[in-house]
Every structure is written in C-alpha cells, then in structure tokens.
Amino acid sequence: MVQTDSNIKIQEALLQESIKEAPSELNEELANKCCEVKVENLNFYYGSVQALFDVTVKVQEKGVAALIGPSGCGKSTFLRVLNRMNDLIPGTRLEGRVSIHGENIYSSNTDVVNLRKKVGMVFQHPNPFPKSIFDNVAYGPRIDGLKDKTVLRDIVETSLKGAALWDEVKDRLNEPALALSGGQQQRLCIARALAVKPRILLMDEPTSAIDPIATQRIEDLVRNLCEDYTIIIVTHNMQQAARISDHTGFFLQGEMIEWGETAAIFTNPQDKRTEDYITGRFG
C-alpha cells in the first residue's frame, strides 16, 4: 500500500520547510557531491508493526555504501524500499520521502518497472532462473523487448565480464545456470542485474550463503563495480563492511543510528551503540 497523494504533498511541504530551517552539517557536506539516493524521514510499516523509524540519509553517486546492524534491525527492509520490492508484500505502508536522482520514487506517477530497471538488486540466496546461463543474463533485455541475437550476445558477454564470470562460463552458456556453484550463481545474478544497465545496485547480504573464497571474489567484484555503479550493500559481516565500503550506516531496531564514512564509523564512532556493536559487545 502506498500512501495517498495528499499525504505525499503535505509531507513534501513539511520536509521542504524543515530542510530550509535546519540543514544539518552532514547534509550540506554531501549535497556538494552528486546525490544519488536521498531518503528523508522514512517510516515504514508492515501492517501495524513499524520496521523503520525516521530514517534520513543521503547516498552519493558511485562507491559502496554498507548497511550494518543486527538481524531484524530493518536494513534489508530499507534496501527493499529503494526499489519498491516491499510493494510485493501486502499490508506495507510508508511515510516520508525517498528520491533517486531527485525524483520521488513513491509518487503516484512513478513507473515501478522503470525504477527497478534503474535500481538493480542481488539477493541473499543466489536465485538464477531455472534456465540456461545465457537466458538468465539475457532475461532483462529480453523482457525489455530486445530480440536481436547479436546485440543480446554482446550484452550477455559484457555483463558476464562485468561480473567476472565470463572466463568460467564462456564455453557453456547454454548449460543450466543451476549447475553452477553457489558463488558462480551469485556472480551470475550480478551479471543478470548488470545486463539491465542499472545505475544503482542493491545487494542484500550477497555473500552470506556462499563460501569464503567465493565471498572474496564477490568483494573484489564489488570494489570494481563501484567505479561505475552506486552500490548499497547490506551485510551481516562488519569486517566485510570495513573492507569494501566507502560509507557505512548502522541500523538498530529500525533506526539509523549513525551514518558516515566507513573509516570514521569504524575508528571513531560517534554513538555509544555503534561503538558497542562494532566492538562486538552485542549483535
């Protein structure tokens, strides 16, 4: 369920006022760089249960933003707000403003299909379709209406190269994707997302279901991809966040406790709770 128009308008008005009145230092600093994702005063509900509380954050273009926090803290919910995957869950409700490239993605005239093409997603468990490797990567362009075989072939090749999988699968593109190993499947899912040419990639604990060596490859891949894409990654693993991200946000019980440069968050957290979590006192 998406909020009504009048609701949005009221909130927009309120927001603009509040922004005019009190632009925080952090906002000002980030506003200088190109801002990719802007979330303001986001509240999110599953039915009557509130999952996110007043989250405000700006993610800048390119680079990796990591979201950390204990299980059930709302980081995955937050991620799924950004490509409106939560729309698929009945009874969800959202307040606040979420904009991508300056456009409110929860306005009544948002084209969700286009939004999801712009904001790709990689899931926790690799979920290639039960089709061939080629058909998996070609899926997005094909549903977009692309039929030309040579163009498709090019897209599949560049996408698989982009996901560092090409060399491993170039001789068996017609084999079932499910025959690949878990780590390869996850990279295939990344290739599949890249084939749609998104600008933002959301990753929901992409390495939690695969082994350490495959994890390392995906981490390297994420570092490479962030030169061309804005990557927002949810991770359970704090070391991973420290290794691969430029910015980190710490979620706790639906609130974004702290957001900042990764180095700062990990060496000099401002909030006691962030410090406790990072030093392993809980979570």
Partner 1 sequence: MKTAVLKRGFVIEKKKSEWRSHELIGFWALRLTLFLVLFILGVIVFDILSKGWEVINWEFLTQPPRAGMTEGGIFPAIVGTFYVTLITIAFAVPLGVGAAIYLNEYAIQGRFTRLVRMSVRNLAGVPSIVFGLFGMAVFVKLFGFGPSLIAAGFTLGLLTLPVTVTASEEALKTVPRAYREGSFALGATRWQVVRTVVLPRAIPGILTGTILGLARAAGETAPILATGAAFFLPHLPDSVRSQFMALPYHLFIMSTQHHAISQVRPIAYGTALVLLILVCLLNLAAVILRKRYRSRVAKGL
- Piece in contact with partner 1 (CB under 8 A), picked from 6-14, 30-38, 42-50, 174-182: 174-182
Q: How far apart are CA 283 and CA 279, in angstroms?
A: 10
Stretch near partner 1 under the rule CB under 8 A, chosen from 26-34, 123-131, 153-161, 262-270:
123-131
Task: For residue 82, give the nearest of 231, 167, 202, 168 by alpha carbon.
Answer: 202
SS3 content of the chain, % helix, strand, coil (to 5): 45, 25, 30
CA distance 52 to 119: 21
The minimum distance between CB 180 and partner 1, in angstroms, equals 9
**Over the range 127-143, which residues count as b (16 or more CB within 10 Å of their CB) and which as e?**
ebeeebbbbbbbbbbee
Total residues interacting with partner 1, rule: CB under 8 A: 32
Task: Report d(CA 269, CA 260) in Å as an integer.
Answer: 9
* CB of 145 vs partner 1, minimal distance in Å: 10
Between β-strands 103-104 and 49-60, what pairing exists: parallel, antiparallel or unpaired?
unpaired
In the bound state with partner 1, the residue whose beta carbon lies nearer, of 56 and 186, is: 186
Least Å distance, CB 31 to partner 1, is 29
Applying CB under 8 A, does 177 fall inside the site for partner 1?
yes
Residue 140 interacts with partner 1 (CB under 8 A)?
yes
179 binds partner 1 (CB under 8 A): yes
DSSP state of 54: E
Decide: is 103 part of the binding site for partner 1 (CB under 8 A): no
Binding region for partner 1 (CB under 8 A) out of 8-16, 110-118, 226-234, 271-279? 110-118
Residues that bind partner 1 (CB under 8 A): 83, 85, 88, 90, 113-117, 120-121, 123, 125, 127-132, 139-140, 142-144, 176-179, 189, 192-193, 196
